[in-house]
Structure 1
Amino acid sequence: MHIKAISVSGFRSYRDKVTIDDLSRQFNVVVGQNGSGKSNFFAAIQFVLSDEKASISVAERQNLLHEGTGNRSSTAIVELVFDNSDRRLAAIDANTFTISRHVSVKKDQYYIDNRMVSRSDINNMMESAGFSRSNPYYIVKQGKISELATGTDLYRLKLLREIAGTRIYDEKKAESLTILNDCSTKLMRSRELLELLNARLAKLESEKEDLKEYQRHDKKRRVLEYSIANSEVRESKKEFDALMAQRQQLQSALNDAEAVKFDHSKNIGSLENDIRRLEMREKISADELTSSRAEEAKLQSEQSMMKLQTQDLKEQVELERGVRAQAENDLANLNTVIEKKERELQELRPKYQELVELQASIVGDINISERKRTELFAKTGSKQDYATAADRDRALNAKIMQLNHHIQDQNDSIARFVASYEEEKQTMLNTQERINEIEASIRENILRMDEMTTQDDKFRGNVDEAARNLHERELSRKNLADRLAELESQREHVEANYFQMLPKAVSEGTRAVNTIINDLKANNANGRYDEYINGYHGVVIKLMSSEPQYYKALEVTAGSTLTHHVVDNERIAMFLLAQINERNLRGQATFFALNRVFSSELRPLKDRNGKHLLSFVRYSERYDPVFRNIFGSTILVKDIQTGRVISRLEKFNCITFDGDEISHSGPMTGGYVDARKSRLETVSNLASLEPEINNLKEQLRQTTTACIECENKLASARLSLTSNEQERNTLQRLHEEISSEKRELCELYNRLHMNVEKADAEIVILRRKLRESIAHRDQLQSQLGAPLSSQLSGDESQELEQLDEFLKEKRAEATNIMDRTLEIQNQKVRLENELNSCLLRQREDLKIKVNAINFEVKSHEYQTRLMDAGKIQERIREINRQNEQYHEELMTIRNNISQKRAELEKAIDERNEADQTISNNAADVELIRRRMSDCQKRREEATKKMKELGNLPIDMINKYANMRKKDLETEWMESIDYMKRFTNVNKKALDQYIRSTAERDSLQTQIDEMNENSNSINRLIEASENRKYDALYLTFRQVAKNFREIFGKLVPHGRGDLIMKTPPASEVDRSNNGDANAAKSNVLAQFIGVGIRVNFQDTNETEARELNHLSGGQKTLVALALIFAIQKCDPAPFYLFDEIDAALDPEKRHAVARLIDEFSTNAQFIATTFRPEMLQYADRCYGVRFRNKISYVSPVDAIDAREFLAVDDVLEDTEMEEAEQP
């Protein structure tokens, strides 16, 4: 066993936690500068293990806490980890364990493996590991060596006594002397008392004769009193038996009446329950009838409104049907007219186009011919206009150039016009395509509307089915809720009756506990109240059950304990009581704590006429102690007589089925018990309601879940129906929009068609004008280069004539064509205007009416309203049937209520009659019970008196056995009168004589025992002194031997001896005065001290010197040798040395270090030093640093440890130099 690790925090100079792990199990050295904290580290270990700091004051605790530049540490903690792999400390079955001490201003605590213990536990554990209290030298502080070096011989003798353990002998001797003194005092008092008793016995001897005469007459008196008491017992028994027979007759009549009353009471309770249930059903039926009639009125109102709406929709549908039929007929007629008009127009358009082109050609020819004719006439004047042909050609070229530009402009205009023409034709085609698309969309919308109408019917069917299912579920839920409310009302009534049977305080206390438990369950977040909720089991009466015939016996036996609360332990009971007080709740609560309830096992019953009452109780096995405590000592019997026999012979409490109690101590109690106030029956009724209520709650929960599912399905069906209606409305709105768009597009198409026809005419005119311009340019070009002349040539003249003839013909033809063109144009315009302005628009309007879906919408809405009206009508008929059923049921319920009330009144009257009979018989039974109780009491008193009279002669008892009671009383009175003459006789003389004789003998025995005890104590003291001497002498020899060996190792050429010093022989003789016993008892008085003689030069004893003649270093070395000798005599697992080599020279420090190294093979050493010699032998070194008023400890090697010491030496030299300077 050794110290494995040390941890220090907050202790003196160690503020932060400093831990030294894996200490060597042999030699460990701690080095550091002076003031760095080595001694504090040593003191920390001593702080845990030593008794010096076991009890410290507040000021001392504050001084132990670290106080640096900042705030003082709040807690100082020192923890030592021990290696226990060798199991030296058998009490701890582990390889390692920790001992720690925590100190703050307000507390001082020890811990073993984080378990708080006392200081005595630490001391006991250390002693079991080999640390002796009598040998404190396993911890050696700095002052301990100087104290031992400068100590006197007497001091060393006391130390040797401590090591030898003589203190225990001294303590036992002191205890023995104390006992011996007490024994001597008691012996003296006992002898004095013995003398007094002898004098008293002499006086009592003279009073015995008178007492004998008195005793003879007193015996006769007691026999007479015994005979009188025995006569009283017989008479009481006879009277008791007669009363018992009479009571049984009355009890039988009372039981019959009670049975009748019980039946009537039960019938009354049943009738009251039936009436309450019927009244609740009446209220429910009346509410249902009222609700149903209100629904009927509402549906009738809806039906009236629905009829009006249906009639309006029917008229609208008929109107829409007529409008559509008329529109279809008009459209057919109009299509015929339009087709005819379009055929006429199609026939006119080619003719008109042909005439327009012909007219344009003729007009062009005319214009060209006229221009050519004009040019021919202009030639005759050109000679006058132009001087030369060149001038003329220049003018012609200028005109030709202008014409070319004009022709180019005309070509561009024609091209632009043609492009615009083609664009309008394309727009017309696109418009036609869009119209075709819209017509297709209209057809698709009509088909889609039909599909959506079909879906609407399907969705409405789903809604109706979901609504019907929901109605059925709601009706089922309502019936379950009504039945549950009925049962809960019945349970509340039964529970109220139960609480009325209890005392007010108990009732309020039970309600208070129930309230607290319910609150705990409601607020049991994260299970923080599970202990109290699961630990409370309820009241006793609700934890048991039995058959009804045993209720009276059980209730009378248990009494108020039936309302006690059962909990797991007293802590739960205290918590509930604290909650009652905190919440200011009223009432009283008594608890059975299962961990505190103890009851003995059931004693077997020998008599077969009775049976343990507990055997008729059913309960859980975990509550067995509670019910054995309540019913375990009671026997159920059939009658009082049987109970008296069992209670007298077997010492059991007995009870009858009627509740009569017979106590084994004698008293008998009983009387009439009202069966209507049976708490067990009430709780049984209450318990019978719970399963049905729980079953109804579960059914209601499932039905509610089903209702929610039906509501969800109904909402989903309604959502589908609404979505379909919205989609249908959207489709209807889209249909109307595209119908309106088609109409507008048709009008646009007609306008574009007219514009195209106009454009065709314009193109013809433009091309005619272009031809005229080209012809004019060609004529001018033909004149270029021709000579100037004032006369036309023959050809030109002939051409001019031809032109005139041609113009005449063409003008006539043009006039004819223009007339025909105008006529056809008028016909065409009339037809186009008629078509575009009237017929086509009328056709589109009729198509819109024909293709409109208002009829389908109105028709579907009409059909829907018809279906809704049919459903409402069906629902009204169903409600009418339902109202008839409700009315019939309500009338039946009311008739039943009237019938039940009549039966209830009759049953109450009959019960009152039985109650009166019971009251009369109960009074007689109670009177007889009192008389029986008086008889029992007189009998018990007489029996008790017979027992008090003691043992009497049988012959004397038989002598007066047959005498009458009156004669016995007369003779007894005579005996009393005769005994009056013995008034002054000491009636207790004989008893006092006998008692005094016994006391004298006992006192003499005690005196003899005390003499023997005194001799034993003296022998014990003598033996203790001898053992103390042997222990001291043997310890001295062992320590002296060890001292001689160790000193020889420390001083190889020296010698050291321990000497036991004794006083001169003359002083010993004077102190003993020739008394051998005194010499034995003072055997240790011959030792007056332990001296030390050493020789540091050689082993010659003549040169040995006393300790006071040595130098300081030599004294230290001698003290260390003595310490090592003591330690070797009483070895410990480890040792702690604090700078023990401080006063030694280097050679001696080497010797001490070698010695420690030698001893470390069997024990662990932890030493602090500021000298280098120990470092050579240390297995591990640790350095202590001091920075900012805080100490730190860390492992170092031998070289670093020497640097620590070197720095310390430099500081010491510096300080010495500064001190030497003036």
Structure 2
Amino acid sequence: MFIKQIIIQGFKSYKDQTHNSNFFAAIRFVLSDKYTQLGREERQGLLHEGAGSAVMSAYVEIIFDNSDDRFPTNTPEVKKDEYSLNRKNTTKNEIMNILESAGFSRRTVAGTEVYETRRAESRRIMEETHHKRSKIDDLLETIGGRLGELEEEKEELRQFQERERERKCLDYTINHREQERLQEQLQRLNNELDGGVEQTDDNREALKQSERQLESLRQQMKLLSEEKAQYKEERIELFRSKAQAESDNAAQQAIVERSEQLRAILPTFNARRENEQATRQRLYAKQGRQAQFRTKRERDEWLQREIADHKEEADELEQNIERLQSDIAEMRDRIENLQQAKEQRDQLWREEAKLGKFDTAEIALGKMMDQNTMRGLKSIRRIVQQHEIEGAYGPIGELFEFNEKYKTAVEVTAGMSLFHYVRLIQLLQQEKGGRLTFTPLNRLNPKQTNLPKASDAFDSAYEKSMQQVFGSTIVCPNLQVASQYARSHGVSAITPGGDRSDRKGALTGGYHDNRNSRLDGIVSERRDEIDQRVTKAMSDLQKVEQKRNQLENGYGPLREELRRREFDLNSRRDELERKQHQREQVEALMMNLSAQLSAYQSELSSDFKKALSAQEEQQLDTVNTQLPDLRKQHAAASSELSSLSEQKTTIELELKENLRPRLDQLQSFDAETGDARSGSSLTAKMKERQADLKRASKSLSNIDVKLKEIEASIEKAQGEFSTVEIERANQRAEVERLDQAIKNYQRSIEKGAQRRAGLTNRINELKTHINSLGALPDAAFTAQYQNMNLNTAQTRLHKAQEALKKYGHVNKKAFEQYVQFEKQREALETRRQELDSSDASIRELIEVLDQRKDEAIERTFRQVSKEFATIFERLVPAGKGRLIIQRRIDRQTNGADEDSDDEAGQRTGVENYIGVGISVSFNSKHDEQQRIQQLSGGQKSLCALALVFAIQASDPAPFYLFDEIDANLDAQYRTAVAQLLQESSQTGQFICTTFRPEMLLVAEKCYGVSYLSKASSIDVVSREQALDFVEGQISGK
């Protein structure tokens, strides 16, 4: 620890020309006790008086570098005026205590300050003990006198108590016997009354028990009946579900069968229809066209017309094909658009739910920081987007990942640093967009720590920023391990729960509310980026928002719209199939027309012959022969085609009017119950219905078994109910009989009711009297009084009452007071013994402290004396020096004890020490040594420096101030002192003023003090400039 900087402003004027003492006076102003109590004029004298306006205030600041933690504070640098510590006002005593703890006290060289404190504390305790003992002695004397007075009153009270005990015993005996006699008479009357009632009570209790049992059986039967009814309802519901499942299964089975039949009939139907058309064409062709025309020209004209008609029809069919293909493409686009619209609607609903969560997370994060920081983060994001700025990485909390169990530890370590950003300060200030802390990566230089390495949870580009926030913190499983690592590695340690131990030993912690986690808020804030990505989707969402608002007014309209869309989708699919089939038919017709057109063109190019050739005649005969068969085949095909057409129409009608609506109903039911498999195939739905049918059948079997068990339990309960009902009737009859007997008996004993009341009143009076006697003596319950004759007891009671009249003035609390004072005396005597023991312990402690003080002083003297001899020999190689202790006994004998190491603890002890002397020789190690009074000024200065350096070696101080200590020294001594200063500066700071060159040669930094315009100033100068200045002073320039 050393002085880092001294700031002097408006402080004091000085008489010397160079004003170099300004520096040392300012230090004494802060650290010494001389300026603690000043008058007005003295305070005015501390202000600087120079040219210009008058100075109204002055201050001196000393800034210490506390890197070695010599000051017991938690920061490496402490600076502030007016006796403040870490920006908090404090008292001068606290500052002085801190300075003394750092070694700024000459009284602590030998550690005697602690001894003086403990000794003064012991003396104070001894004085308090003596005062308490005096008070105890006074109280004991007062109590002793009062006990003597109570001793006389106690004898008279004893006689009174003997008479009083006898009276109480006799009075109790007489009244107790009378009470017992009356109790016996009352008991006989009550027994006569209760004898007939007990039997009735037993019967009433049995009757109540039966009624409770009946009520329990009723409740049981009621519960069983309700359970039976519930199972019946469940059975009916299961029957209904089973029937519904069977119906659904049958409908789905019929749909599958009819669909299979339709798929099987369609190929046959199409083949038969094509066969009929081909047969008809063959018949027309077989008839020939030779008989229709007379000339080749008529035939050719007819063929050309047919060819033109077929071409026109072919062109029309091609247009139809193109139109159908366009319709098919349009239908597919519409189906795809409907499907995409449905998926887009679901996606937009999901995005809307996410946006709601993002807004909630952003609001929660805003509550965890101040408004300036929140506005700053929003402004930063907007600025980065507007200006497209690179290198803005975002808040620190968004640049790393963490394990969930360390969330609390990360939060406590980083705190508000989680929101520290990078760059953009100028733009943020221009727009007044809030306040934010930035961490420029190229300016950070975090302190490197020796911690275990692990895989980083962040990009290497952010390493400096992460080291700045988390680099000096380690996570430990508990606070004990955290404290050990904090001390051993010089870092801050934190537990997963947020408890923290820093390297100074301070422990911090407590409850941390994880519900308001900054990290959770930052994680949620990251999702704000997704909000940017779905901005485009928001425009589409706004387009369907109106339709969604209309649909969300009720679930029914929404479901109806969905059904309509699905029906529209199915209709489009059916229309697509129909168009595709129609296109296939047109393509087939187109092929037939092409073939016929080719035949016509071939015939047109052939010669026209009126008669047929022999081969053609033979072919015609063959055709004529086949013509009847072909007609029969045509008729059969037409009949079969009509039957298949009728069957096809029937199946299609059933599918359209019955089965497909049923299928739609089943699909709607699945959609309403939230079935996620609504898009599965018909076969899968049929299997599902079959599984439901099996489950329903199994549940019906279980319910039938439970119904049988419940019916058996009901029958058993009904049997028990009948049995208990019979028993209750018999018991009720017996109770009625006994009630009548009691009424008869009560009429007979009503006459003794008044007598019983009188006995009860008398017994209560006797009880009251006995209670008024208070605590009875033990003798009242012995045989002496229990067997005493009643007349004798009454006689003795009268005598005892007469005797008590003589003790009317007795002090009835004498015994209690005597015991109380006796206890006080015992307590005071015990306390006095404790005080005597404490006094002996304190005296023993003082002896121990005196001994330790002697040992500390002697040990310190030996150490300083040894260092003084060594350092003096280094300063004066030809001489010798040593320290000596001066004692009172030596002064009385006009001698000095020059014992050093071996004789320091002899004879009279430290209390006879009166000072320390110096014995030196500058010329020889064997000549007679001189005392300090016999030395010259330069020699005295050298001895003083040797003593200071000896003390510094024994108990080093943080820094030393030397004001021209080499002024009176010879050159050889100045050189030796400079070398010693250079060696000692390794462990302490030395601030010196000098006009000699020797110290300048070993100084680390030189300052020049100058005086100009009635003001002194100080500047850093080089060693060469300092040497030139000193040489100029020596030469008088």
Task: Name the TM tier (shorter chain).
Answer: 0.3 to 0.5
TM-score for the superposition, normalised by structure 2: 0.39
Instruction: Name the larger-Rg structure.
Output: 1
